[in-house]
Copies of this chain bind each other. A is one copy, B any other.
């Protein structure tokens, strides 16, 4: 059953021949596809410039287009075609831009900054210390290419009818499940397949599951059931990841809405359009919404926060020169083992 419409590739042929049709759900790697012309064209249009020291609080990654800095939150379009070209929201390509903040298997909690002009990526910090997620066994770091959708925002004044919780004041989070480990700052063209809802202190924190449209398996994956079919265990493991990843920090398990089940493409797409509308209000109106967010931008026509590309060049002048990465703390390589049964019993007792 896994062979239907399957892109067959030579280096996996023996596997698929012997065992594949029966039990191998395989990505069907093609070397050519790792640098598809479309991907190249799309990534060519943006590039990143790094400042400061990786893993320290002065680290910043700025986004550039046509040699000028832009905001990844406001200036990178959400609705695109497969080559990353902006389209109207009602074009319904089903394809969206995603900004990669955290490559798969890494631990540094990088994110688009809220209050800094042009929203460079920086490392989240807690008590003035750069924040890393711990490895919760059997996971190694983030298990997807993790990031945010540009031009989306989870409005704290909006109570989701699905979860009964308010928005968490952040761009919409996204987990890309393709075969490739993306780079921090890459802008990928992705299609939504499903969505998981975390409810954290009364706030909804949606996590959209997507695949890079240039991934060899992209054509086979169109909804959440396809993920289970081609990548058995991935959704359940993703829910496990979100439920337990804060335990090593002394926090309780996260609450996952919908009884720990992922919803499909339809809900994911609805949330994408909704959060895009909330972002539009944020950037187009001088209101009290999201006062912590810098809305400075160079591309959002009609926004009171828009300035000319030349005006923002000086934003980067204040940044320190890029330095070698700070030494890695080996303690971050620890695997934290959690007795899930005991954890669930403990929650049930409360």
Shortest distance from the beta carbon of A341 to any chain B beta carbon, whole Å: 8
Number of copies: 2
Shortest distance from the beta carbon of A17 to any chain B beta carbon, whole Å: 7
The interface residues of chain B lying within 8 Å CB-to-CB of A26 are: 248, 334, 336-337
A-B contact sample (19 more), CB < 8 A, given A34-B331, A179-B333, A232-B338? A17-B250, A18-B252, A19-B251, A20-B250, A23-B340, A23-B342, A23-B343, A24-B336, A24-B338, A25-B337, A26-B336, A27-B336, A138-B139, A138-B233, A180-B330, A181-B330, A181-B333, A232-B339, A234-B337
Chain A positions within 8 Å of B, measured between CB atoms, are 11-12, 14-20, 22-27, 29, 31, 34, 104-105, 137-140, 143, 179-181, 230-234, 237, 247-252, 329-331, 333-340, 342-343, 346
Specify the chain B residue showing the minimal Cβ separation from A343: B23
Task: Give bound CA distance, A240 to B27, whole Å.
Answer: 20
Shortest distance from the beta carbon of A319 to any chain B beta carbon, whole Å: 30
Contact call A339/B25, Cβ cutoff below 8 A: yes
Contact call B25/A338, Cβ cutoff below 8 A: yes
From B139, B249, B329, contact of A15 by CB (8 A): B249
Shortest distance from the beta carbon of A289 to any chain B beta carbon, whole Å: 33
Shortest distance from the beta carbon of A306 to any chain B beta carbon, whole Å: 38
From B16, B31, B334, B343, contact of A19 by CB (8 A): B343
Contact call A337/B140, Cβ cutoff below 8 A: no
Task: Give bound CA distance, A331 to B340, whole Å.
Answer: 33
Contact call B339/A15, Cβ cutoff below 8 A: no
The interface residues of chain B lying within 8 Å CB-to-CB of A329 are: 31
Specify the chain B residue showing the minimal Cβ separation from A17: B250
